[in-house]
Structure formats: structure tokens, C-alpha cells
Structure 1
């Protein structure tokens, strides 16, 4: 099998590429990336050591696809992943990468009759609707209730039939627009596709920032003994997310790669779910226990743009279709990332500190 992974030097793309090559050494895997994100250059040696061919290119450029070899499957893992991207009034890079880049990927897949696995995001769900959901405030976190004003949500989390009307961030909009185009290519061009709406993905080799990769950011700030802040919702740190370890995402992509007919045309939520969720307050406690360090955390009551109080993925649909469910919990994720920081401190300190 020949595979092209876009965003192949990014956290998700490189992790998937290396895991696939380790498990299927006979596969030929190409990793395409423009190396724009800081830290992505660290992936090049890892990809080479794994036997993966790196291709320097940009999905925004149609010409870059002309030189690519034919493949059997495209895994579209490239993106400008920041929820705050474009909110400064310049959304061009975001839109050109996340929307028009996906169009170029689709046309390349169509040309070679390749299957298409797309990594979308839970951010396709509208902010205002999420913010009006019924919740309970516990001692350390916010929790969804079963009694809700809209379909597609319960105490288990948010499902695929959650209403899509309303604003969701420019980032979320580019991903939803890509989803719509993928469905058209599936229906009218016969392209075999699956869309995965991923929650917060995390794990080793993610270069965490304030606006994307918060799990690594939180652990790294503890590790390097720097400052953090609980921002928004009264500054209590009760805002809650589920976290999906990249190794758990890999298991799903591996299954889809080899059983695509079973999920062809599907849109599937994939996140950590209730079992792998934490509030910032709870995450802080685990970070303190794993790192042995306590750092100052300030409180900022005012909310940030495009933030949400609470998001948990309801994985019912994907589990019923594929049998997949995440296996790694929050403490295991924190421990794994902490071990990675220890092992690669010299390379990571200039980026994460």
C-alpha cells in the first residue's frame, strides 16, 4: 500500500506516519509538509529514521501535487489548527490552507482514485449553541446534563447530530466547509471518504501553544516551572475538555485505512470521551503529582474570544460502527508527555519554554 499523509511533519501527521510504518514496514509512506509550524523541523530526522519519504511542499499550491507519486490512500492531516487563527482580521492563510488546500488534496486523490481519510475537528459545532447548553457546576469542573435544549447532546457529550447553525470560529468554518466538499466528492465523484471530527488530540511531539495544544502547554509550563492562568468563566479553572492520545487516534485511523468500505461516507466524532476528560483545575493537580512541581496560576475572570466552557465527545457512533474506543486516560497522557519532555529536554526547551 502507498500512502500520502499531508501535514506529515506536524504532530498528528508525523505520529500517524511513524506508527503506520512501524506496524506495516512494507507500506510506502510519503509525508508532505511546508514546515511552517515551529518544531515541525524536529520531525524530519524521526521520519527519515522510520523509513518515511519526506516531501517538502504546500497543499495550497496545486503545482506541488503534480510531482507527487500515485498513492492508494490520502490521510489529510494538514491544517492551520489554531482556533484564534484569522481573528486578527487576516484569515487568508487559514482559508487557503484549510479549505483550498483540502480541495487540492481531494483533486489529487480523485486523479489517482485514492481513498480519502480526513481529520476534521469538534470545532465545527457552533460556539453559542454549546455555550447555552445545560450544565452543572461541581467542585472541580463543569458537567453536561441529560436535559438539553437541542438534540445531539447528553451527559455523555456531543454527538454528530448536534445542530450546526451559527458561528464556530473561522478555523471551525474552514473545516466544516471542507467536510461539505468531501461529501460532494463522495456522492458525485465516487471518492471513498471518511471524516473524523476529532476532539483535543495530544501526546508526545506536540508543540503546545496557548491557542492550540493546551495539554502539552500545561504540562510543559509545570515541567519548566513557569506561570499559567485560568482564563475565563470566573477564573476558576473549571472549564472541561476531553483529551485523545495520538496513539488512540492512530488505532482508529489504522482501522479505517483497512476497512474503509465499512465507514465510507461517514462523519464520525472521535475524542477522549468522559473517561479521558479533565478540567484545567483537575489537570493542574495531575501535573503537580506527575512533575512534582507547583507553579503560580493566576485567575482571569473574563472569557477569551471563541472559548467554550465545556466540550466532551460522545463516541457512541464510532464505537458502534468500528468497535474503537479510546484506552488512555488523563493521567497516562500526562505521564507520557512528561517522560517525553524528560527524554528530549535539550531540543524542546527552546520551543516550549
Structure 2
């Protein structure tokens, strides 16, 4: 298999590259990444060998995308602007990358009849009420995005659906819950709190801290995507989640406990505009049809492993920390 991975130097993309490289030695991997602040060549350390190459470029570059897609059997599309706080300040960048970029890739996949998988988010469905916890998103849930980020991801999902129906592009979609694990940028919730504690800062909690997220380890997400591109049915959408619902307050308190700090050693900050109350995924379809199940089922243990990774890789994040916190401070967050 010749595999093209967009956004393969980012958090989830790099973990997927690593998963494929280790577990499927017969796959040749081309990574297309713009190497913005969220993409880091260091994330691919030890992988850029004969079977793996990195092409630095933009998914909206039609000529480059055409060339790479002509050499590809399967394209897995991770590349996206994804941070909600940034979307509130610079929404146009999200339109360009998430919508125009996906369109550009779809047209090239259509031209060369490449199998295409689009990686999306549960945020396209908006929010669930805090109770009952049994209510979850399904593939029939109505799209109701709450932010510029989720709106552009919803638009890209619909582009994929339209290209499947109108042009018979061989595509699938996955909508995944919140990921955690190694190589996640420190502007994101869990690594921000971990690196705050490691650098002597107090963790920050939006609003009341009652907002609930459904967490999944990034390795389980990688395994699910592989199942979809090898066994999934064309035109289908698969929801990926590990049924690990925890409030942001619970997550911060657990991190503090694991790192030997008092459970109340954090600060509340102003809530984010459009902050969704709860996300939760019904992953029964991918479990039933493709036989996928998560392996990382101990969330507290997974957090402990993630803390260890950031402790052991201070050189990976320390140079960015001051600038990230300065940006948050501008908005009293």
C-alpha cells in the first residue's frame, strides 16, 4: 500500500504514522504537512527512512496535491486547523484549511480514484446536555456546530458526503471524541495542565469546569482508522470513542493528584464563548461492523503514562511554553 497522510507531523497524524510504521512494514508512507506551529518535524524522529518521506506543503496547493495523489493508493486526511480558541480569533484560516483544503484533496482523489478517509470530530454534532450521561452522539445525530472550528469541520464532512454521492469517490468519514497522549501540542487542555504543573504554574479551568468530554487514547484512534481504511464500507461514517466521560474538573483534579499536588491547586478562568456542555460517542457501529475495541480502558493509567511522556520530553515543549501562556493571558485564560 502507498499511503498519503495529510497533517502527519501533527499530534494525531504523527501517532498514526508511528502506528502504521511499527505494525505494517509493507506500507510506504508519504506525509504532507505544512509544518505550522501545530506540526513538528521532531514528532517524526526515527521514522523518516526509506519507507517514510515528508513533503512540506499546503493541502490547498492543487499542483502539489495532484502530484502526490497520483502516486497514492489510500489518503488519510488529518490536516486541519483544530484549536477552538484560535478559531475564535482567526476563523478565515479555518475556512481555508478545513474547507478549501478538503475540497482540493477530494478533487485529486476523484481524478486518480484514490481511496480517501476523512478524519473529523464529534464537535460537528454540537453539544449534549450534562444529563442523562446515557445520551450519546450517533451517526444519525443532527449536525449542530457551535464554533468556527466545528462549523468548518462539518462543512468538510458534507463535502466528502457530496463527493461520494455525486462523483463516486471511494471515501469514508470518522468522527472521534477528544484524544490524549504523547506529542499533543501544549495549547490543548490536558498537556497544558500537565506542563503548567511541571513548570510551576497553576492549571487553568474554563468556567465551572463541569463541561464533559469523552476521552480516547490516540493509539486507539490510530487503530480505529486502520480498521476503517482496510475493512470499512465506502460511503459510511464511523464514530470512534472509548466511553470515558469525565468533566474538565475531574481531569484537572486527577492530574494534580497524580503529580503530587493538592486537588484544589488550580485557577478558574473566564469561560470560552460557545463552550459545549458535553460530548459523548456511541461507538457501537465500529465495534459491531469492524471488530474494533479500545485497548486503553484505564483513563487514570493513561493520564499517568501521558504525564510521564511530558516529563521525559521537556525539551519538546519547554521552548514553546512561555509564548503559549502569553497568548492565553491576553484573554485572561
Fold-level match, TM-score > 0.5? Answer: yes
Kindly report which structure 2 residues correspond to 1:305-316, keeping only aligned pairs within 5 A, or say none. Answer: 305-316=273-284
Question: CA, structure 1 residues 46+278, in 2 after alignment: closer, same or farther (shift >3 Å)?
Answer: farther
Q: Say if 1:14 and 1:31, in contact at 8 Å, map to a contact too.
A: no
Kindly report which structure 2 residues correspond to 1:62-81, keeping only aligned pairs within 5 A, or say none. Answer: 62-68=62-68, 69-81=70-82
Q: Which residue does 2:172 correspond to in 1?
A: 194
Aligned residues: 319
Choose from 141, 144, 148 the match for 1:170: 148
**Structure 1 residue 15, shift from structure 2 partner:** 1.0
Q: Which residue does 1:342 correspond to in 2?
A: 311
Kindly report which structure 2 residues correspond to 1:1-353, keeping only aligned pairs within 5 A, or say none. Answer: 1-38=1-38, 40-48=40-48, 51-68=51-68, 69-88=70-89, 90-127=90-127, 130=128, 133=129, 135=130, 144-145=131-132, 155-164=134-143, 166-209=144-187, 213-232=188-207, 235=208, 237-260=209-232, 263-273=233-243, 276-294=244-262, 296-300=265-269, 303-328=271-296, 329-352=298-321
**Structure 1: stretches of 5+ with no match in the other structure:** 136-143, 146-153
Cα distance in structure 1, aligned partners of 2:311 and 2:53: 28
Cα distance in structure 2, aligned partners of 1:298 and 1:8: 34
The Cα offsets for residues 160-189 of structure 1, whole Å up to 9 and x where unpaired, read as: 22222x552111111111111111221222
RMSD: 2.1
**Structure 1 residue 5, shift from structure 2 partner:** 0.2
Q: Which residue does 1:148 correspond to in 2?
A: none
**Structure 1 residue 104, shift from structure 2 partner:** 1.0
Q: Secondary structure at the match of 2:45?
A: helix
The Cα offsets for residues 8-30 of structure 1, whole Å up to 9 and x where unpaired, read as: 11111111112101111121100
Q: Say if 1:200 and 1:242, in contact at 8 Å, map to a contact too.
A: yes
**Structure 1 residue 105, shift from structure 2 partner:** 1.0
Q: Which residue does 1:139 correspond to in 2?
A: none
Give the TM-score normalised by structure 1. Answer: 0.84
Question: CA, structure 1 residues 343+82, in 2 after alignment: closer, same or farther (shift >3 Å)?
Answer: same
Q: Secondary structure at the match of 1:161?
A: coil
Question: CA, structure 1 residues 268+39, in 2 after alignment: closer, same or farther (shift >3 Å)?
Answer: closer
Cα distance in structure 2, aligned partners of 1:318 and 1:92: 33
The Cα offsets for residues 226-271 of structure 1, whole Å up to 9 and x where unpaired, read as: 1223221xx3x222211111110111111112113xx221112212
Q: Say if 1:7 and 1:33, in contact at 8 Å, map to a contact too.
A: yes
Question: CA, structure 1 residues 92+343, in 2 after alignment: closer, same or farther (shift >3 Å)?
Answer: same
Give the TM-score normalised by structure 2. Answer: 0.89
Q: Secondary structure at the match of 1:87?
A: helix
Cα distance in structure 2, aligned partners of 1:46 and 1:77: 21
Q: Which residue does 1:140 correspond to in 2?
A: none
Cα distance in structure 2, aligned partners of 1:308 and 1:4: 33
